[in-house]
Structure formats: structure tokens, C-alpha cells
Amino acid sequence: MKTEFEFIETIRRRYSLSKIGDDCAVLPKDNQTDLVITTDLLVEDVDFRFKWATPEFLGHKSLAVSLSDVAAMGAKPVWAMLSIGIPASVWKTDFLEKFYEGWFALAKKFNVELVGGDVSKMPDKIVIDSIVAGEVTKGKAVLRSGSKAGDLIFVTGELGGASAGLKMLENGERYEKSDYKNLLLRQLQPNPQTVIGQIIGAGNLATAMIDLSDGLSSDLAHLCRGSNVGAKIYADKIPFDKQLNSITKSFAEKLDYVLNGGEDFELLFTANPKKKIQIENELKNSRFSCIGKITATGKLVEIISDDKIEVLESKGFRHF
């Protein structure tokens, strides 16, 4: 069966859609500024479960996933819209009020204004479409398509926590009574890298960037496809979330969470090696790691662990 990525590529070609295929569309705003915009659909029992996601967490996460896309363009988020479909049984509760509390708490942090939306009835599940727009200096949006052979590959933060948190939730762990609250929060209340994204954009630090939403193996492959390059990463340089130790001691299992788990909402970017010192300076207050380099081996992604080189298959999240 075709994946959603293959389908989107088919539509892109058939209808000559030049603005499709990055974390956000980039549109001209005025002489100095481009507008970037993204839309993300979140579906109950596919992207979240009521059993463990409170309405406040869900409000936060709905905005966070789109802020992450805006960050991946190096842009500053500015305004947002929300379309919400909700069953009548949920409408009668205080779900939506609490959802908006979670949403606005995060929006306030980054000064994002809600400018529109829609509310509709759903037969039985909740569905949320989150739309966020940002601004970036004209021509400076960081695309997926600028990586060159020889560029270094960086990631922000620590990886694997969000999918390990999901595993715990699936196994019955609940936030209220948990000893692993911080790990669960990686899944329930992710932090978009809004500030770092803007530093990277403003400083022209990156040749390409993408957010880690599907999992490192898939997102790195998306970036390589966008730039028509390959990549080589080193397993021992990947910054594992230390909290992964609470769920497994096995290196192979931890690596699987990091590569194929998704939803960490950190940033993956590539940079010319000459920019290394500037990156170290400008991101000196943030955690980031150099995990490998871009190669000329067209779209082939390899991982090196214990001196063995293996092809890294994209096993991150996909709907179809």
C-alpha cells in the first residue's frame, strides 16, 4: 500500500504544486518578510487517547506540533487557527474550556494570536486541525532542500523520550500517579524548539532543517530526499534521553525508540562545517549534538554502530 508520503508526492507532481513538501509552505508577505504556514490534523485514537491525555495536555500538544513545524523553518510564530470536531457527549462537558486553557497557556508563551477557527459536530471521535503561521526574513526560511555533501548533521535536545513515554502510557502508566512524570510529559506536553529554530534561522546557521516528528530514521530520510543527498550518522553520538533508562537497559531498544519512535519535536539540521564555531556560540545555552554528516550517496542513509555500517531504513511513524 502506498504511504502518505508517496501519495503527497504524486499529487505534488500531477498538479505542479511547488510549495508542497516542507514543514511549512513559504509565501510572500511583504518586501521584507515571508509568511510560513502549516496545518496538522490530530485524531482521537490515532494521535492521542482520552484515557491518558487530559484536555489541557491536548490543547498544548495541538499547538506545539504546529509550532514545531514553524520552528523547523527558522521562523517566528505569529498567529493560529483551530478547527475542532467534537461529539455531542463531549460538547456537554468542560472539555473545550480546558482544551483552550492548555492551548492558550502555550500560545501566551510565544505571543501567538488565535485569529479564527471552526467548531463542528463529530459522530464519535474528537478531531483537531491546528493551523499556525509564522514570519521569517524574506528568502531566509530554512528548507529541507539545502543540504550539501560534507555538511554536518545536528540535533537539538535529547531523543527517544516521547515514544518511550507513549509506550509507558500504552502499558497503563498514568501521569497523575506516575514516578516518571517527566518522561510522560515528553509525550503528553512536548516543547517545540521555537527559540532555537529562530536562532538558527536568523543566524543563517543551517543549510536545511526539519523537525523530529516521525522519528529520526524517517525525518532524516525526508531531509535527504529533499536535498537529494545521503547521510551517515553515528549511533554513539546520538543524544539519548537519559530517562530511557527507566524503560530499558538495552542499547538496541533505546536506539529503536530514538530512530523510529517519533514525536520528540526536536530539530534536525545540517550545516556547513565552517559554521561549527558559530553554531557552538549561538546555541551555547542549549543542548545540541553533531551526530554525523551528509554524503553524496544519493538519498542513502547509513548508521554506524560498533564500526559496522548499516543502511538505516525509515521505520518512523506513518499513517498508511
Q: Out of 39, 145, 278, 297, which residue is the one contacting a second copy (CB under 8 A)?
A: 39
Q: Which of 104, 180, 234, 251 binds a second copy (CB under 8 A)?
A: 104
Interaction pattern, residues 252-271, with a second copy; x per rule: CB under 8 A: --------------------
Quote the least distance from Cβ 28 to a second copy, whole Å: 9
**Lateral strand order in the sheet of 267-271:** 208-211, 267-271, 152-156, 288-295, 230-234, 301-305, 308-311
CB 195 to a second copy: min, Å: 23
Rounded to a whole number of angstroms, the minimum distance from the CB of residue 96 to a second copy is 7
CA angle, corner 316, sides to 3 and 167, nearest 5?
Answer: 125
Site for a second copy contains 309 (CB under 8 A): no
Residue 95 binding a second copy, by CB under 8 A: no
Report if residue 8 touches a second copy, rule: CB under 8 A.
yes
Measured distance CA(274)–CA(153) in Å, rounded: 13
Task: Indicate the residue among 39 and 278 with the shorter CB distance to a second copy.
Answer: 39
Among 4, 280, 310, 313, contact with a second copy (rule: CB under 8 A): 4
Pick 95 or 175: Cβ nearer a second copy: 95
The 3-state secondary structure of the chain, one letter per residue = CCCHHHHHHHHHHHCCCCCCCCCCEEEECCCCEEEEEEEEEEEECCCECCCCCCHHHHHHHHHHHHHHHHHCCCCEEEEEEEEEEECHHHHCCCHHHHHHHHHHHHHHHHCCEEEEEEEEECCCCCEEEEEEEEEEECCCCCCCCCCCCCCEEEEECCECHHHHHHHHHHCCCCHHHCCCHHHHHHHHCCCCCHHHHHHHHHCCCCCEEEECCCCHHHHHHHHHHHHCCEEEEEHHHCCECHHHHHCCCCHHHHHHHHHHCCCCCCEEEEECHHHHHHHHHHCCCCCEEEEEEEECCCCCEEEEECCEEEECCCCCCCCC
Residue of 131, 195, 199, 300 interacting with a second copy (CB under 8 A): 131
Q: Does 50 engage in binding with a second copy (CB under 8 A)?
A: no
When asked if residue 1 is in the footprint of a second copy (CB under 8 A), the reply is yes
Take residue 172 and report the three cell numbers written for it.
Answer: 497503563
Answer yes or no whether residue 237 interacts with a second copy by CB under 8 A: no
- Binders of a second copy among 9-38, rule CB under 8 A? 11, 15, 17, 19-20, 24-25, 27, 29-31, 35, 37-38
Q: How far is the CB of 42 from a second copy (least distance, A)?
A: 8
Q: Smallest distance from the beta carbon of 6 to a second copy, in angstroms?
A: 11
300 binds a second copy (CB under 8 A): no
Q: Does 120 bind a second copy (CB under 8 A)?
A: yes
Residue 91, interface with a second copy (CB under 8 A)?
A: yes
Q: Does 148 bind a second copy (CB under 8 A)?
A: no
Nearer to a second copy, 45 or 310 (CB): 45
41 binds a second copy (CB under 8 A): yes
C-alpha cell at 154: 545536528
Cell of 149: 555533501
Binding site for a second copy (CB under 8 A): 1, 4, 7-8, 11, 15, 17, 19-20, 24-25, 27, 29-31, 35, 37-47, 79, 81-85, 88, 91-92, 96, 100, 104, 113-125, 127, 129, 131, 319-320
